[in-house]
Amino acid sequence: MVTYLYWAAVIALVVLSLFVGSRLGSLKLGAIAAAIFFVTGWLAYYFHYEQVFVKRFGGVMRISVPDGHRHIGATWKEDNLWIENYDPQTNQCIFTEYSKGNLLEGRVIIRDCNPLQGQSAPRP
């Protein structure tokens, strides 16, 4: 919900700048201001607000599990999301960090990790 409000505000600023530019007789300046508002809003969302909205306000973020991997778990460490997947072909557990803007993504690989090995069927 917060994401929709954010984008509605960005679009409102874009439309308002186009409107004001046309009323003042300089649609070119209005278009430049609209482009600046849109690019600034997009960059701010991508590099800062996306994960903040998801973690703190219940936004939506989509991440896909690579083919052949099995998803084990996910957790937040501060504002960064860590995903744990298991690759049965290489017998490795792979922790992947999704940071703001995906600039500083960490990756931890644990070799000879078989999280399903010790599990047995639950007893009644």
Given a cut of 60, is residue 123 above it in pLDDT? no
pLDDT value, residue 48: 81
CA atoms within 13 A on the CB side of 88: 8
Residue extents of the structural domains in the chain: 2-57, 70-111
- How does residue 116 score in pLDDT terms, banded at 50, 70 and 90? low
User: What is the arithmetic mean of pLDDT over 97-121?
Assistant: 72
Interval 47-76: pLDDT, tens: 888 888 888 887 777 888 889 898 999 888
In 3D space, the residue among 115, 118, 66, 64 whose CA is nearest the CA of residue 92 turns out to be 115
